[in-house]
């Protein structure tokens, strides 16, 4: 994202439209499960965010594009009143995509006027939050459309496959190496330099015992070994809640994996560029916390805590494979010390407030704090995360059974 705010605004808004461009009006309207939002809803909701938190309160002459949009495009802000049920977003055929494009243009015109004016630091902060919010929805748009398209028996591609055989691609090493840490008192959390979401604050101390963190994520090849060893059939590896889900949902493999109809030994996977064979060297993706934890038990290792993960990420900063190509997908490990990119990595840490956390006053304080229960923290960003959006202190979170995010894992071990 450019450092100039007006340039950043134009850049982020254009990226959202670029991501929606391969999708028809029909594609953009479907909601394949309650967790998934239609593409056109994402495009409108991020515009509603600027309208609600920036233009309404800070531009006296601003009038909303349509008063009814406050009901259908409010995601979860209780302080802003009633809203349309999340699970029924796919029932909204109107406004259609053309009207949502007009809505976006209307908000952009008002925002561009504001960006040319002399505004207060608080407005700068809210616009910045709105841009990072829209980047989060760019990744959600891709996660969600992948699920939508996966439910179509034709298994259509969202976009053409990325170029393969990139000079940086090479097979993952056969065994993960370990980045060792002596433990002790460490500090984690955002330092205050640059943007951070409220859930990254305040920076605080944690005590770590000595540990090792794998130098790459778990691969599909390793996951196939887990499956071949009865990983999904042996309750001894699983948390009780996880085993219940395995039983009721019939999980036998990561989401989007299926056996080749003509060669059942071969696993195929649905990707944003259509169906392709499972590549044993790629990081495994679309696994839940329950699966990640069961895999770790199978290996005799464990998942890292978020404090362990962040401590290593601050030393071994860097990463690769963020949103850039037409159809994001994880790639085999290319830099053994880069923790960012490719797949979000489950940690064993519950998503709870850091000591001293305070949500911001008002509706915007609902952004993160009220979700700090019954979820686990993931770290690192993924191939669908816009470049520059994540940092080592960034805390993503999902319920333990969720697996439609680009979620994988990296092992930790005790000495």
Nearest of 156, 146, 139, 141 to residue 38 by alpha carbon = 141
For Fe ion, the closer of residues 32 and 37 by Cβ is 37
Contact partners, residue 319, CB within 8 Å, separation at least 6: 335, 338, 339, 340, 341, 342, 380, 381
Interface stretch with Fe ion, choices 69-77, 171-179, 300-308, 348-356 (CB under 5 A): 69-77
| From 72-80, 160-168, 239-247, 359-367, span contacting Fe ion (CB under 5 A) | 72-80
Q: Which is nearer to Fe ion, 198 or 279 (CB)?
A: 198
How many residues touch Fe ion (CB under 5 A)? Answer: 1
Stretch that binds Fe ion, among 74-82, 119-127, 220-228, 399-407 (CB under 5 A): 74-82
CA atoms within 13 A on the CB side of 10: 10
Q: Residue 29 or 74: which CB sits closer to Fe ion?
A: 74
75 sits near Fe ion (criterion: CB under 5 A): yes
Phi-psi category of residue 234: left, alpha or beta, with phi > 0 → left and psi -120 to 50 → alpha: beta
Write down the least CB distance from residue 45 to Fe ion, Å. Answer: 6
Q: Which is nearer to Fe ion, 133 or 301 (CB)?
A: 133
Per CB under 5 A, which region of 70-78, 171-179, 276-284, 407-415 contacts Fe ion?
Answer: 70-78
Nearest-approach distance from CB 49 to Fe ion, in angstroms? 6
Residues 6+ apart with CB under 8 A from 220: 278, 279, 280, 281, 282, 283, 284
Q: What are phi and psi of 244, to 5 degrees?
A: -60, -45
CA distance 146 to 137: 14
Measured at the CA of 126, the angle between CA 4 and CA 70, to 5 degrees, comes to 125
Closest separation between CB of residue 311 and Fe ion, Å?
A: 30
Tell the smallest beta-carbon distance from residue 74 to Fe ion (Å).
9
Stretch that binds Fe ion, among 71-79, 272-280, 314-322, 336-344 (CB under 5 A): 71-79
Identify the CA nearest to 135 among candidates 1, 329, 324. 1
Q: Crossing angle, helix 240-249 and helix 289-299, to 10 degrees?
A: 110
d(CA 321, CA 404): 19
Torsion of CA 256, 260, 266, 267, to 10 degrees: 0
Task: Give the nearer residue to Fe ion in terms of CB position, either 75 or 135.
Answer: 75
Comparison of 133 and 391: residue with beta carbon closer to Fe ion: 133
Nearer to Fe ion, 181 or 389 (CB): 389
Site map 24..63 versus Fe ion, x via CB under 5 A: ----------------------------------------
Cα(99)–Cα(324) distance, integer angstroms: 28
Closer CB to Fe ion, 19 or 307, in the complex: 19
Find the part of the chain contacting Fe ion (CB under 5 A) among 68-76, 109-117, 303-311, 359-367. 68-76
CB of 133 to Fe ion, least distance (A): 6
8-state DSSP, 111: H
Give the number of residues written for the chain.
415
Least distance in angstroms from the C-beta of 75 to Fe ion: 5
CB 380 within 8 A of CB 313: yes
| Phi-psi map region of 183: left, alpha, beta (phi>0 left; psi -120 to 50 alpha) | left
Nearest distance, CB of residue 50 and Fe ion, angstroms: 11
Q: How far is the CB of 309 from Fe ion (least distance, A)?
A: 25
Q: At a CB cut-off of 8 Å and minimum separation 6, what does 50 contact? A: 107, 111, 127, 130
Sole window of 75-83, 237-245, 319-327, 373-381 interacting with Fe ion (rule: CB under 5 A): 75-83
> Restricting to residues 94-153, which ones interact with Fe ion according to CB under 5 A?
none
Residue whose Cβ sits closest to Fe ion? 75
| 154, two tokens | 């034709």
State the minimum distance, in angstroms, from the CB of residue 53 to Fe ion.
Answer: 11
CB nearer to Fe ion: pick between 200 and 206: 200
Quick one: tokens of 232?
A: 């999904």
Kindly tell me which of 37 and 348 has the beta carbon lying closer to Fe ion: 37
Least spacing, CB of residue 46 vs Fe ion, in Å: 7
Q: Applying CB under 5 A, which residues contact Fe ion?
A: 75
């Amino acid at each position: 994202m450019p450092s100039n705010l007006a340039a950043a605004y134009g850049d982020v808004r254009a990226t959202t439209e670029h991501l929606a461009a391969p999708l028809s009006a029909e594609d953009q309207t479907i909601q394949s499960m309650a967790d998934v939002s239609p593409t056109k809803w994402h495009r409108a909701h991020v515009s509603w965010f600027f309208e609600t938190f920036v233009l309404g309160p800070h531009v006296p002459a601003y009038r909303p594009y349509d008063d009814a949009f406050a009901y259908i495009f409010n995601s979860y802000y209780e302080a802003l009143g009633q809203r349309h049920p999340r699970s029924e977003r796919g029932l909204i055929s109107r406004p259609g995509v053309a009207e949502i494009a007009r809505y976006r243009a209307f908000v952009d015109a008002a925002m561009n006027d504001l960006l040319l004016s002399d505004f207060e630091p608080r407005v700068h902060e809210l616009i910045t939050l709105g841009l990072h919010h829209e980047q989060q929805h760019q990744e959600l748009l891709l996660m969600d459309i992948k699920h939508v398209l996966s439910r179509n028996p034709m298994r259509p591609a969202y976009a053409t496959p990325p170029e393969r055989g990139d000079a940086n691609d090479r097979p993952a090493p056969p065994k993960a190496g370990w980045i060792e840490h002596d433990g002790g008192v460490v500090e984690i959390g955002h330092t205050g330099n640059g943007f951070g979401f409220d859930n990254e604050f305040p920076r605080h101390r944690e005590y770590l015992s000595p540990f090792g963190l794998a130098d790459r994520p778990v691969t599909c090849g390793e996951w196939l070994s887990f499956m071949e060893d009865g990983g999904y059939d042996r309750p001894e590896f699983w948390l009780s809640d996880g085993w219940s889900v395995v039983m009721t949902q019939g999980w036998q493999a990561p989401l989007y994996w299926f056996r080749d109809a003509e060669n059942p030994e071969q696993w195929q996977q649905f990707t944003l560029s259509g169906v392709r064979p499972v590549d044993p060297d790629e990081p495994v993706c679309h696994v839940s916390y329950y699966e990640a934890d069961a895999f770790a038990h199978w290996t005799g290792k464990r998942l890292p805590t978020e404090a362990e993960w962040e401590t290593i990420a601050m030393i071994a900063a860097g990463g690769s494979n963020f949103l850039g190509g037409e159809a994001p997908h994880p790639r085999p490990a290319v830099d053994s010390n880069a923790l960012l990119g490719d797949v979000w990595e489950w940690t064993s840490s519950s998503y709870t407030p850091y000591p001293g956390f305070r949500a911001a006053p008002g509706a915007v304080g609902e952004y993160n704090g009220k979700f700090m229960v019954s979820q686990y923290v993931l770290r690192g960003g993924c191939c669908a995360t816009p470049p520059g959006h994540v940092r080592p202190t960034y805390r993503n979170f999902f319920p333990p059974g969720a697996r439609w995010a680009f979620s994988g894992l990296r092992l930790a071990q005790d000495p």
